[in-house]
Amino acid sequence: MRFFDELPPMEFLRSEKMSFMQLIIPVESAQRAISYLGELGLVQFKDLNDDKSPFQRTFVNQVKRCGEMSRKLRFLKDQINKSNLTILARPALEPDTNLEELEVLLGEHEAELLEMHTNSEKLQQTYNELLEFKLVLLKAGVFLVSDQNHAAPSERELDEHVYTPEEDGGTLSLLEQEIQPDFSNKAGLRFISGIICKSKALIFERMLFRATRGNMFFHQAQAGELVMDPVSGEMVENTVFVVFFSGDQAKIKIHKICDSFGANCYPVPEDMTKQRQIIREVLSRLTELETTLNAGIHHRNKALSSIGCQLWRWTMMVKKEKAVYDTLNKLNFDVTKKCLVGEGWCPAFAKPQIKDALERATIDSNSQLGIIFHVMNATESPPTYFRTNRFTQAFQEIVDAYGVARYQEANPSVYSVVTFPFLFAVMFGDWGHGICLLFAALVLILYERKLGSQKLGSFMELAFGGRYVILLMALFSIYCGLIYNEFFSIPYHIFGQSAYRCRDPSCSDAHTTGLIKFREPYKFGVDPSWRGNRSELPFLNSLKMKMSILLGIAQMNLGIMLSYFDAKYHGNSLDIRYQFVPQIIFLNSLFGYLALLIVVKWCTGSQADLYHVMIYMFLSPTESLGDNQLFWGQKTLQILLLLMAIIAVPWMLFPKPFILRKLNMEVMSSQDRERGNKQRKEKGKEKVGGNEQRNDKGKEKVGRFQGRTYGILHTSETDLDVELDSTREHHNEFNFSEVFVHQMIHSIEFILGAVSNTASYLRLWALSLAHSELSTVLYEKILLLSFGYNNIIIRLVGVAIFAFATAFILLMMETLSAFLHALRLHWVEFMGKFYHGDGYKFTPFSFAALADDEE
């Protein structure tokens, strides 16, 4: 144990030391101080106004203003998107505007755009009307002409289809014009012409029919041109119609119906020359309007693009500002002292940086008063903060997905960096596949900068996030693949010649009697001659199974060792004596012994049956081992180990809860005594500070807000101990039965877990077997089969299928399954031994996180 004590401190193993700090900020420098802290991004503020609703807080008006500004920004962004402009956000050319200026600027821009909108809307409306008028004139003109051409009303419908727009210019004769006025007077018919949205035309016609009781005639034709709907901005297909009817009553009704359907009616003169004249006028006005509209759009686009290049910067600025005010709202406002009181967590190493930022804020805001920063006692446990880089982050996230570490708990991700890819590779061992994976990982890493800046699909996002995990997994797969000697399931003679050869040159009995060994063993990994051999599977299975158990026991022992370091770090000798020691004895006396037997068997080449040894160690420990004896004194050792294991069980189970109870009783009685003494003293003296020792939360809170009763701590070394003490003091409601049941569950879980977890590591063997068998099947049944045919097409097809199957089944599905199994081995078998994972993450107030949100 001395050895462990002298190890250098492992700072990566623990989360950062956190301090609970209090800031007292004068009002004039508050905004600046918080924004500097936001840039630093190392302070997590506590919400001191939890009981207040958002609009009762101090800086609600500023938050509202920021909300209003971001609404304007969204409006501008919307406009830019609508106008289909592609704008590159240029780096800030203009000097930084402050928020007030920005607010004014945004208001101006919005007003300007809105005005342009109303202007162009009016223009657009007139344009639409003219366009519709033109369409009505062209189409309805045709109906009218056709009506007049054939006086018999029954033929109208037929002719409507015969007529085409080209004809109408040419076929109009003077004769027709003369007939026309005559016609309308004679029949007493009137008509209304107009245009309506195509989808409504059918109901419209039906409605007209009902309203006039069938006394009308309805003509319709496709408008042919799309007209923009002013409300939705979409192009709509329209239908031109002409309704013939008689009577005033009907006219009113039809007009009403037209109104209610949103159909626009336009008068079409019955006089042909007039008609043509109007068409000409309309056309000329249309072209005029079009140029005006285009100029307007051009103008607007120019304005928008000038806004667009600033938009992103403004959005960020407003976001930051809003975040600052949201944070300020978390602070307590002390009206009498004209200052804000904030509380929160910061990592201990960041104190100088924070102090520096606060000083800068004081100077920059010309404040008379400095910002007071001091460290306090905290009643709750601190947040967990690990400093990660882009390499370790993915591993940390794997661990965090299980549970965020308790404050200053051993961090399994340090070990996971190697053990995770390694266990993966044990299952995925094939150096051909490993190289493919390596290429994928290298591509992701080489294009890191490019990929990191853009939005990826969910699957790519996943792969990109874990690119370094994939890299390590690939490297370890190549290593394990070399040991298994598999390259897409094909063995190679990389490290020299095989140690085996046939008994005779013809090699006829290779598959019946086997090969003979004639030289030194193969240098590295599995001898390629095992491949395709009758005993290939039994050999590889035995190898991989034993290897899995060895790896498993090593990893579980590491887990238990970490629980020792944890207990030692937190000064918890109880856990070391009554939990760690029996656990390590129990595991190693049973399964550690198995591991020892495996190693001995490998080294000596013994034929002993390990199942038999292990089973009879329990069933009849005193019986002689016979042929299965591996080393001298094995029987005595077995009995000894069995006894140790049996002793370890109650050792784990009983002492700890009873000792805890005893300790608790002592503490309680001493507290009672103290309190009694104090009360006696207080009777004679004044009643000061009586509240301090009692952990009365409510009173403490009140006291803290008044800013009087806490003591300032100066050294960072002492504050941690005090913190720990103060956190522990709060749990002093001791419930013996609960503790005992908890201990019982924990012990039983460990004892059963020792068996089941060891068995669980056999998944390493199972998956590795599955992987190699699957790749063998693909290779033999697809690639070799297709190459059996002397046909280039079949061979190509075979290669294609092989490539796809390898890529999708082996490289993607198998990677995922091996990943999941490695994950499970880490979460359950390894981390279950020591990891609590009931902490909460440090979420500092940081502008960098805001920018990430935006993307």
Partner 1 sequence: MYGFEALTFNIHGGYLEAIVRGYRSGLLTAADYNNLCQCETLEDIKMHLTATEYGPFLQNEASPLHTTTIVEKCTLKLVDEYKHMMCQATEPLSTFLEYITYGHMIDNVVLIVTGTLHERDVQGLLEKCHPLGMFESIATLAVAQNMRELYRLVLVDTPLAPYFSGYITSEDLDDMNIEIMRNTLYKAYLEDFYQFCKKLGGATSEIMCDLLAFEADRRAVNITINSIGTELTRDDRRKLYSNFGLLYPYGHEELAVCEDFDQVRAVLEKYPPYQSIFSKLSYGESQMLDKAFYEEEVKRLCLAFEQQFHYAVFFAYIRLREQEVRNLMWISECVAQNQKSRVHDSVVFIF
Instruction: Report CA torsion sign: 232, 234, 235, 236.
Output: negative
Q: Would you say 53 or 164 has its CB closer to partner 1?
A: 53
> Which member of 39, 157, 259, 271 binds partner 1 (CB under 8 A)?
259
Q: Other C-beta atoms within 10 Å of 721: how many?
A: 10
Least distance between partner 1 and beta carbon 158 (Å): 30
DSSP at 443: H
> Which member of 56, 669, 670, 677 binds partner 1 (CB under 8 A)?
56
Query: Which position has the token pair 């008509």?
Result: 191
Would you count residue 55 as binding partner 1 (CB under 8 A)? yes
In the 3-class helix/strand/coil scheme, how is 471-506 assigned residue by residue? Answer: HHHHHHHHHHHHHHCCECCECCCCCCCCCEECCCCC
User: Which of 290, 142, 140 has its CA nearest to residue 228?
Assistant: 290
Helices 27-40 + 272-328 axis angle, to 10:
100
Q: Would you say 61 or 572 has its CB closer to partner 1?
A: 61
324 Cα distance to chain centroid: 25
Q: What b-and-e string marks burial along 610-642, b requiring 16 or more CB atoms within 10 Å of the CB?
A: beebbebbeeeeeeeeeebebeeebeeebeebb
Least distance between partner 1 and beta carbon 85 (Å): 20
Q: Would you say 261 or 734 has its CB closer to partner 1?
A: 261
> Which member of 89, 203, 599, 665 binds partner 1 (CB under 8 A)?
203
Least distance between partner 1 and beta carbon 67 (Å): 7
> Which member of 60, 116, 766, 850 binds partner 1 (CB under 8 A)?
60
Stretch that binds partner 1, among 249-257, 430-438, 556-564, 777-785 (CB under 8 A): 249-257
Q: Would you say 325 or 468 has its CB closer to partner 1?
A: 325
Token pair of 536, please? Answer: 């290939």
Helix (H) or strand (E) holding 152: none
Least distance between partner 1 and beta carbon 207 (Å): 6
- How many whole angstroms separate alpha carbon 696 and alpha carbon 684? 23
**Do residues 631 and 562 lie in contact, with contact meaning Cβ atoms separated by under 8 Å?**
no
- How many whole angstroms separate alpha carbon 437 and alpha carbon 422? 14
DSSP codes of every residue in 122-150: HHHHHHHHHHHHHHHHHHHHHHHHHHHHS
CA distances from 328 to 282, 321, 331, 419, 743 (A): 62, 10, 5, 44, 45
Q: Would you say 200 or 531 has its CB closer to partner 1?
A: 200
Q: Would you say 63 or 767 has its CB closer to partner 1?
A: 63
Least distance between partner 1 and beta carbon 103 (Å): 12
Would you count residue 74 as binding partner 1 (CB under 8 A)? yes
> Which member of 99, 105, 207, 644 binds partner 1 (CB under 8 A)?
207
Would you count residue 68 as binding partner 1 (CB under 8 A)? yes
Would you count residue 261 as binding partner 1 (CB under 8 A)? yes
Token pair of 711, please? Answer: 């003591």
627 Cα distance to chain centroid: 59
Would you count residue 116 as binding partner 1 (CB under 8 A)? no
Within 453-482, which residues bind partner 1 (CB under 8 A)? none
Stretch that binds partner 1, among 59-67, 83-91, 216-224, 601-609 (CB under 8 A): 59-67
86 Cα distance to chain centroid: 28
Say how many residues make up the chain.
855
Would you count residue 773 as binding partner 1 (CB under 8 A)? no
Least distance between partner 1 and beta carbon 66 (Å): 11
Least distance between partner 1 and beta carbon 261 (Å): 7
Would you count residue 54 as binding partner 1 (CB under 8 A)? yes
Least distance between partner 1 and beta carbon 195 (Å): 17
In one-letter notation, the amino acid at residue 374 is: H
Stretch that binds partner 1, among 69-77, 222-230, 338-346, 454-462 (CB under 8 A): 69-77
Q: Would you say 60 or 475 has its CB closer to partner 1?
A: 60
Stretch that binds partner 1, among 64-72, 554-562, 690-698, 793-801 (CB under 8 A): 64-72
- How many whole angstroms separate alpha carbon 299 and alpha carbon 119? 12
DSSP at 97: P
- How many whole angstroms separate alpha carbon 499 and alpha carbon 533? 14
Within 312-371, which residues bind partner 1 (CB under 8 A)? none
Q: Would you say 200 or 285 has its CB closer to partner 1?
A: 200
Would you count residue 75 as binding partner 1 (CB under 8 A)? yes
Going by C-beta distance under 8 Å and a sequence separation of 6 or more, which residues neighbour residue 578?
651, 652, 655, 656, 659
**Do residues 612 and 628 lie in contact, with contact meaning Cβ atoms separated by under 8 Å?**
yes
Query: By rule CB under 8 A, what count of residues binds partner 1?
Result: 24
Q: Would you say 47 or 536 has its CB closer to partner 1?
A: 47
Q: Would you say 21 or 63 has its CB closer to partner 1?
A: 63
> Which member of 4, 39, 71, 523 binds partner 1 (CB under 8 A)?
71
Q: Would you say 315 or 489 has its CB closer to partner 1?
A: 315
Would you count residue 671 as binding partner 1 (CB under 8 A)? no
Least distance between partner 1 and beta carbon 396 (Å): 32
- How many whole angstroms separate alpha carbon 289 and alpha carbon 287? 5
Would you count residue 64 as binding partner 1 (CB under 8 A)? yes
**Do residues 191 and 242 lie in contact, with contact meaning Cβ atoms separated by under 8 Å?**
yes
- How many whole angstroms separate alpha carbon 351 and alpha carbon 759? 49
Would you count residue 99 as binding partner 1 (CB under 8 A)? no
Would you count residue 67 as binding partner 1 (CB under 8 A)? yes
Would you count residue 257 as binding partner 1 (CB under 8 A)? yes
Least distance between partner 1 and beta carbon 308 (Å): 19
The SS3 call for residue 834 is coil
Q: What is the CA radius of gyration of the chain?
A: 43
What are 241's strand-pairing partners? 194, 220
**Do residues 772 and 484 lie in contact, with contact meaning Cβ atoms separated by under 8 Å?**
yes
Least distance between partner 1 and beta carbon 78 (Å): 8
Least distance between partner 1 and beta carbon 307 (Å): 17
Would you count residue 666 as binding partner 1 (CB under 8 A)? no
Helices 99-149 + 60-82 axis angle, to 10:
40
> Which member of 210, 503, 714, 836 binds partner 1 (CB under 8 A)?
210
Would you count residue 445 as binding partner 1 (CB under 8 A)? no
Would you count residue 230 as binding partner 1 (CB under 8 A)? no
Stretch that binds partner 1, among 158-166, 203-211, 626-634, 682-690 (CB under 8 A): 203-211
Token pair of 55, please? Answer: 């609009």
- How many whole angstroms separate alpha carbon 566 and alpha carbon 582? 16
Would you count residue 253 as binding partner 1 (CB under 8 A)? yes
Would you count residue 53 as binding partner 1 (CB under 8 A)? yes
Q: What are the start-end ranges of the E strands in 160-247?
A: 190-197, 216-222, 227-228, 235-236, 238-245
Q: Would you say 600 or 850 has its CB closer to partner 1?
A: 850
Would you count residue 105 as binding partner 1 (CB under 8 A)? no
Would you count residue 82 as binding partner 1 (CB under 8 A)? no
Contact positions vs partner 1 (CB under 8 A): 53-56, 60, 63-64, 67-68, 71, 74-75, 200, 203, 207, 210-211, 253, 256-257, 259-262
